[in-house]
Structure 1
């Protein structure tokens, strides 16, 4: 397949830089969907996706993996099987953007030019910003639905908890699927109830956000559900540290900066 065009990049001493009519950074669901729609209007070879991973993950399924409904393998596919026909796949990572010359720099294929750029690489998860989190994931009762490598531990913790405190958290920063943290709380609460453990387990949802949902109509409905099921809620409290040896989660009140020590 021939690229849309090639231009001479004088900064590279006359070497050729491949350029596309549309260049998409990120080959997740968003990038693939954009490519699939645009290819109906453009010619083969005019669109390229820059994506380093050989695997494609349907991440919305991870909530149900964490809830014990699906195995995580169901969410994993080969990236090559989802690149639309007529769209080129550049298996590389974008390291720099050069908007002044309509180009990006990649780690494996040098500079790539474009007429139009779509940026959808996803959100990087900064585990290290919560002290003690990265080294505790998958053990010490600490789990997360936000990575393929850790999602199974959520279900292990839920099904093995017979009594105690189950704490579900949401940060005050942008995350993939803002509803994810509360959805797994609802699934866990339901599992505890159906298996006769609910009266021995306290379920808490602690969020750094100001409310359970940004739209009042839906926030009201969700708060009613929490009240009906006995899920305790606390807002404007951000998780900043995990002390696995004590099984404590440390939160900061975003209004007062006071520390809250929450056992789990």
Structure 2
């Protein structure tokens, strides 16, 4: 642990970025973390151990914290929602202050945020970790449809258990799983839900009554080429109708109808549409940055936080960094990517606090454990350039060991490592496994 020197720490009379003294330290923090999800808690935990007690503030409005990677298993009856839920107050790191509110306005020129209710909080440094918001509202009729029979989504803690109930009550017809045309959290989640549903329906003896459709806006089944063929084989074995270049734009519950806009080869919308009647419809919602961030000086034209995709430092405000899904970095938006974000943030924010230029680079790592049945997983690990796998095993092949990692090891790693700021991703393990594999190939081991 690097303990920051006195000059980089908070004191009873704190200076702001411009050197002016603040009179009310209770509304000023050396480090302000906006968001109490995986990235926010991980960042706060790291720096609460480096800075004096009370120097770190965490702004987070929600009482419950969810292990979102577990929602796929909850929706498949393999985990309970309760197992994925913890009370936020029990996760706040010792020495940090939980500000149970939300930011409605960023004023980085004054190192200030405004909370709902009008209170201003100032900071010396800030980490924006607001995550990505589910935007069911961008699909006409989706919000209303989620409250009707047959329509659900594993993305929402309020509807994930409904998915399992719907699958268990399903008797026949079209079961449709959608992937949106736009940013999405955990890009593999819609097809994971589809595969698990196939397994459940087979166990129930009603699979022959189902026409299962995976409708994706992409031009192929998955965005990382290395895993396309294995997933195509899974879909073919399960008799899943994969329809590409289709974007869900409307749901009509009076007719149990889902309308898809057809996309051209470049992913642009056309005037052509396709309507499909459903008995079961799982929505993969598009996502956006939270409203306050979209309207802030930090945002790019897409609304996500504009950061250097190597250092994760704001391009406009050097005392501000990002972490997690709210950024415009090219990595997939997964909890696994947060671990490598935190490794980068830990070093670079420390450098900034010491008056040094951040130079450590995020490697773009992300992971998506693709659950293809109730006991097999394709452990996809990658960055924007392609596979970035940790083990010497064939991770493109559905495996039971990978399922055990997904169901048992990864939740424990999340609760005890990631959000407590101890887990920095598998880069070190990857280097070791590659060394061992190299030695084996050379006949040394």
Q: TM-score, normalised by structure 2?
A: 0.55
SS at match of 2:271: coil
Displacement of 1:240 in angstroms is: 0.5
Verify: 1:111 aligned to 2:120, yes or no.
yes
Q: Between Structure 1 and Structure 2, how many residues are aligned? A: 258
One of 223, 227, 230 as aligned partner of 2:232: 223
Q: Aligned partners of 1:4, 1:196: CA distance in 2, in Å?
A: 68
Verify: 1:244 aligned to 2:258, yes or no.
no
Displacement of 1:154 in angstroms is: 0.5
Q: Decide whether aligned partners of structure 1 residues 189 and 21 sit closer, same or farther in structure 2, where only a CA change above 3 A counts.
A: same
Confirm or deny: 8 A CA contact 1:51 1:93 kept in the other structure: yes
Matches within 5 A, 1:1-264: 6=14, 16=24, 18-108=27-117, 110-255=119-264, 256-264=270-278
Q: Aligned partners of 1:248, 1:5: CA distance in 2, in Å?
A: 62
Q: TM-score, normalised by structure 1?
A: 0.91
Confirm or deny: 8 A CA contact 1:3 1:45 kept in the other structure: no
Displacement of 1:6 in angstroms is: 4.7
Confirm or deny: 8 A CA contact 1:104 1:112 kept in the other structure: yes
Q: Decide whether aligned partners of structure 1 residues 44 and 248 sit closer, same or farther in structure 2, where only a CA change above 3 A counts.
A: same
- Structure 1, residues 40-77: CA drift from partner, whole Å, max 9, x if none? 32222221110011111111221111111222222222
Displacement of 1:4 in angstroms is: 6.8
Displacement of 1:85 in angstroms is: 0.6
When you count strand as a share of all residues, which structure comes out higher? 1
Confirm or deny: 8 A CA contact 1:3 1:19 kept in the other structure: no
Confirm or deny: 8 A CA contact 1:130 1:239 kept in the other structure: yes
Q: Decide whether aligned partners of structure 1 residues 120 and 3 sit closer, same or farther in structure 2, where only a CA change above 3 A counts.
A: farther
Displacement of 1:90 in angstroms is: 0.8
SS at match of 2:79: coil
Confirm or deny: 8 A CA contact 1:204 1:233 kept in the other structure: yes
Instruction: Extract structure 1 runs of 4+ deviating beyond 6 A.
Output: none
Q: Aligned partners of 1:5, 1:162: CA distance in 2, in Å?
A: 67
SS at match of 2:255: coil
Hey, what does 2:360 align to over in structure 1?
none
Displacement of 1:36 in angstroms is: 1.6
Confirm or deny: 8 A CA contact 1:25 1:50 kept in the other structure: yes
Displacement of 1:3 in angstroms is: 8.0
Displacement of 1:149 in angstroms is: 1.4
